């Protein structure tokens, strides 16, 4: 390792997941099975990818762990919150993502992961009605109870550090409100005043985690940490955050395929995306207010890759539509269709059709692992606030919209950002340019 000034990954890493559904149980089962040598963590950048460090005679390609001190899988300890009381084993079986034979070898470890009572407000996810929920006087009390959970987990498990990951449902859309979400003092006042319209339960988790010295990752499209008040809190407690929305199926295709159109200088008339899925995520997104949160996240991808101002002949006025349809027979096996209307030489039209029959949780699990390990690394490296280098894993990367910043959504530019950050934290030169 080069002269990295990152604190080593000593002791155990606690990963506390909000939501013990299909995604998180697939993630946990996979980590536990990999640890036993019974499965492979396919799709995980931290476990498989190699990055070039140095140039010329000094050039070598190394796995992430040989560049920067990333926590080992054997040091991970899991905990979770959920509105349903089922333990991780029962939940993994119920989710029907993995076959029983791929869960049973780690049954005992999964059974030991019993969900803590969730900080929950039914108005934010009307389709869910579990009873494993906290009784809270107000939003401030809700946050304090989550803080206590984190402290208790640390004490009882003996972990050295904690990362909190949101892998729960999409909440109804909370638009950033200047009077509540822009200053930390205003946010705290709203929590104490029990302003339930502007303070989502996820904000209580994020605030609690950061105050307890735990980085927070938002895996849904919620506005949670995408607000200036939380950025201010990060500066105060010197903690990193990342969000939002795991980039699993269709948006991954979009962020990788749109650059083909842009690089080849082809024009775009329209891009229609539709999904069918039948898991709990689909159920919650069947509620229009919850879908709105998702739509905002999924729509932003294309517009920052194929930009009208840069190529007015090619990208002015294209039509971009996103749909999600709840279809129970599919369960976790999501299907994403993309119909892309492009035009070429002399304006002649052509079409591209992409049909991705993906497994949502199978694609999300390695993202959960990478985000948690890299977020823990970022915290030990003393990085503060929004970690833009993690946008590779996220549908709608956080950015400072108050300053008119446009997020990078182009997959290959995001990959350069990721590589540069790993190099930097490993004490090497961040030597790749984003064109």
pLDDT digits (tens, 9 = 90+) for 13-32: 999 999 999 999 999 999 99
Produce one character per residue of 335-345: b if its CB has 16 or more CB atoms within 10 Å, e if not: bbbbebbbeee
User: Is 1 a residue whose pLDDT tops 60?
Assistant: no
8 assigned to some structural domain: no
Q: Compute CA 302 distance to the chain's CA centroid, rounded to the nearest angstrom.
A: 19
Stated as kind and residue range, the H or E segment containing 70 is: none
As a whole number, mean pLDDT of residues 58-67 equals: 97
Per-residue model confidence (pLDDT) at position 293: 76
As a whole number, mean pLDDT of residues 109-128 equals: 95
- Could you tell me if 227 and 334 lie in one domain? no
Q: Distance between CA 403 and CA 109 in Å, rounded?
A: 46
- Could you tell me if 125 and 254 lie in one domain? no
pLDDT digits (tens, 9 = 90+) for 207-233: 999 999 999 999 999 999 999 999 999
2 assigned to some structural domain: no
Per-residue model confidence (pLDDT) at position 306: 94
What are the angstrom distances between the C-alpha of 52 and each of 57, 63, 120, 227? 12, 9, 44, 35
Question: Which structural domain range is residue 158 located in?
Answer: 13-246+362-425
432 assigned to some structural domain: no
- Could you tell me if 352 and 373 lie in one domain? no
Could you tell me which residue, 13 or 169, shows the higher pLDDT? 13
Looking at 359, 379, 398, the residue that finishes a domain is 359
Per-residue model confidence (pLDDT) at position 299: 66
405 assigned to some structural domain: yes
Per-residue model confidence (pLDDT) at position 27: 98
pLDDT digits (tens, 9 = 90+) for 391-422: 999 999 999 999 999 899 999 999 999 999 99
pLDDT digits (tens, 9 = 90+) for 267-322: 999 999 998 888 777 788 778 878 777 777 666 788 889 999 999 999 999 999 98
Give residue 63's pLDDT band: very low, low, confident or very high (50, 70, 90): very high
Looking at 338, 359, 380, the residue that finishes a domain is 359
User: Is 370 a residue whose pLDDT tops 90?
Assistant: yes
- Could you tell me if 351 and 258 lie in one domain? yes
User: Is 330 a residue whose pLDDT tops 90?
Assistant: no
Per-residue model confidence (pLDDT) at position 41: 98
Q: Are 88 and 111 spatial neighbours (Cβ–Cβ below 8 Å)?
A: yes
Q: What is the CATH number of the domain that holds 318?
A: 3.30.360.10
pLDDT digits (tens, 9 = 90+) for 290-302: 877 777 766 678 8
């Amino acid at each position: 390792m080069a002269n990295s000034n990152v604190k080593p990954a000593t002791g155990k890493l606690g990963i506390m997941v909000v939501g013990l559904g299909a995604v998180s149980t697939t993630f946990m089962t996979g980590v536990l099975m990999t640890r036993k040598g019974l499965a492979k963590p396919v799709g995980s950048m931290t476990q498989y990818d190699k990055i070039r460090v140095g140039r010329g005679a000094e050039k070598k390609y190394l796995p992430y762990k040989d560049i920067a001190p990333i926590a080992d899988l054997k040091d991970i300890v899991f905990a979770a919150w959920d509105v349903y009381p089922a333990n991780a084993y029962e939940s993994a079986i119920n989710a029907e993502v993995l076959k029983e034979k791929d869960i049973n070898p780690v049954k005992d470890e999964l059974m030991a992961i019993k969900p803590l009572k969730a900080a929950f407000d039914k108005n934010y996810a009307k389709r869910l009605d579990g009873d494993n929920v906290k009784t809270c006087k107000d939003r401030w009390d809700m946050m304090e109870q989550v803080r206590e959970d984190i402290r208790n987990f640390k004490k009882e498990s003996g972990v050295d550090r904690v990362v909190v990951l949101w892998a729960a449902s999409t909440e109804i859309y909370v638009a950033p409100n200047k009077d509540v979400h822009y200053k930390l003092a205003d946010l705290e006042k709203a929590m104490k005043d029990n302003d339930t319209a502007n303070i989502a339960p996820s904000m209580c988790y994020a605030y609690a985690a950061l105050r307890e010295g735990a980085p927070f990752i938002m895996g849904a499209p919620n506005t949670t940490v995408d607000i200036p008040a939380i950025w201010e809190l990060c500066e105060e407690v010197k903690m990193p955050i990342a969000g939002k929305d795991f980039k699993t199926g269709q948006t991954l295709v979009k962020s990788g395929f749109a650059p083909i159109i842009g690089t080849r200088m082809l024009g775009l008339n329209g891009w229609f995306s539709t999904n069918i899925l039948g898991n709990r995520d689909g159920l919650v997104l069947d509620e229009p207010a919850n879908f709105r949160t998702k739509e905002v996240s999924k729509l932003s991808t294309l517009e920052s890759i194929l930009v009208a101002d840069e190529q007015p002949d090619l990208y002015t006025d294209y039509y971009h539509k996103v749909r999600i349809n709840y279809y129970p027979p599919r369960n976790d096996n999501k299907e994403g269709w993309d119909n892309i209307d492009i035009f070429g030489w002399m304006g002649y039209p052509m079409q591209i059709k992409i049909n991705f029959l993906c497994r949502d949780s199978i694609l999300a699990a390695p993202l959960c692992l990478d985000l948690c390990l890299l977020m823990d690394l970022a915290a030990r490296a003393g990085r503060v606030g929004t970690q833009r280098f993690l946008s590779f894993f996220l549908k709608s990367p956080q950015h400072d919209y108050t300053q008119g910043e446009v997020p990078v959504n182009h997959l290959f530019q995001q990959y350069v950002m990721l590589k540069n950050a790993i190099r930097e934290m490993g004490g090497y030169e961040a030597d790749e340019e984003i064109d």
